[in-house]
Structure 1
């Protein structure tokens, strides 16, 4: 199984989720999204596997969320993904994607929803 982690090593939750995945015996593909931003095509794949609304990918604190008008609840998913592609800091880390599902994992225990074997580690 391929597991991709959109990761920020400066984030404690992101580091914890990475450790949980590894403890389950899985070595994920780690994407440090601030160094290597996901393309719009990458984000479209991610969005197609989300088990939560696309809006849940948005990080508000410490980002240009309000300045970009992302607080508008009527904003289309495509506009949200475009904003994340242009401003990767908007990605609400960590985000875990498997072949079947994806979701932001904040708090870290939400990882179990898409990677139940991590609970057993």
Structure 2
């Protein structure tokens, strides 16, 4: 079983989710996604596992979202994915991928559903 967490060490929910994984004795690959964003293929795969459209995975309150007019409903999914790849801060966090499934750790206890 391979588990990966897309993590921001400055985010309390990320830290809580990582602690939950550690408490469950789950060895997870930690991806600090602000420094090492997922590839397009990984992001598309994560979206599919989450059964989400790109806008649903975006942090819409971030200044980058507003400044880049990403609230424009005419933008394609590809354009929104491109924006998340350019500005990974826009990607909701934490995301845990395990056993071919993914979940957003908000709240962190959500992660238990895929372990």
TM-score range, shorter chain: 0.7 to 0.9
Structure-2 change in CA distance of 1:105 and 1:63 (3 Å): farther
Greater mean alpha carbon deviation, residues 17-26 or residues 49-58: 49-58
Query: Within 5 A, what are the aligned runs for 1:57-68?
Result: 57-68=57-68
Q: Distance in 1 between matches of 2:71 and 2:51?
A: 21
CA contact (8 A) 1:58 1:91 kept: yes
Matched, 1:22 2:28: no
Give the paired residue count.
Answer: 115
Deviation at 1:101, TM superposition (A): 1.5
Q: Distance in 1 between matches of 2:20 and 2:106?
A: 13
Q: RMSD in angstroms over aligned alpha carbons? A: 1.8
Deviation at 1:77, TM superposition (A): 2.7
Matched, 1:47 2:47: yes
Greater mean alpha carbon deviation, residues 73-82 or residues 19-28: 73-82
Structure 2's unaligned 5+ residue stretches are none
CA contact (8 A) 1:7 1:32 kept: yes
By percentage of residues, which structure has more strand? 2
SS in 2 for 1:31: strand
**TM-score normalised to structure 2 length:** 0.85
CA contact (8 A) 1:40 1:81 kept: yes
Q: Distance in 2 between matches of 1:26 and 1:103?
A: 15
CA contact (8 A) 1:51 1:101 kept: no
Structure 1's unaligned 5+ residue stretches are 116-121
Matched, 1:100 2:100: yes
Deviation at 1:107, TM superposition (A): 1.9
